[in-house]
Amino acid sequence: MKILEILAFDRRFDRGLFGCGKPDLDDWLKTKAGQQERADNTRTFLAVDGSKVIGYYATTAYRLGLDEAAEMYGVGKRAYPIPAVLLARLAVDTGWQGCGIGSQLLLHALRQIAEASRHVGFEVVVVHAIDRDAVTFYAQCGFTQFEDNELHLFMPVKDLLATLESLSS
């Protein structure tokens, strides 16, 4: 498994040839990531090989509404929305899939989110998986599916911090 640099979004990196096999994820990186960065709507990090982008992830602030919060734990309605961070996108170029890049990107994202949790309060990390394969990937990494939406997963911040602590021990 090659360890790559994972850097904050920069328009100078070549995104034009990126292709992960999911047109929505490819298009977002090529046409919307820069706009979303400039508008402070997302933070995107790029796995690069030289000047070529071979993977990326994006995060944004999120809030689980009362109904969605109930779906998460399979319990009745909560009295307040749940503050969260959404891991909005994660993708790896097809030429690099199966090389551990996705796991490196996810670990980087979770470390960044854990650091943010020391400065901003939120309860969970949420993922909206693009398909069943992505659900399997996130579930193997400790995320739990929502009760009523199989493509939505979550990890409480307490679990995230405990997992990262065990990895560094």
Question: What is the number of other CB atoms lying within 10 angstroms of the CB of residue 35?
Answer: 10
Look up residue 15 and give its two tokens: 């995104």
Instruction: Tell which phi-psi region holds residue 58, choosing left (phi > 0), alpha (psi between -120 and 50) or beta.
Output: beta
Segments forming the whole domain that contains residue 102: 5-168
| Tens digits of residue pLDDT in 10-60 | 999 999 999 999 999 999 999 999 999 999 999 999 999 988 999 999 999
Residue 96, classed as helix, strand or coil, is helix
Mean pLDDT of 101-125: 96
CATH number for the domain harbouring residue 59:
3.40.630.30
What span, in angstroms and rounded, lies between the C-alpha atoms of 153 and 145? 4
First to last CA, the chain: 21
Q: Which amino acid is at 146?
A: F
What percent of the chain has a predicted confidence (pLDDT) above 90? 78
Mean pLDDT of 157-162: 94
What span, in angstroms and rounded, lies between the C-alpha atoms of 64 and 82? 5
Would you state the pLDDT for residue 165?
Answer: 86
| Tens digits of residue pLDDT in 59-91 | 999 998 877 776 666 555 667 889 999 999 999
Q: How many domains does the chain have?
A: 1
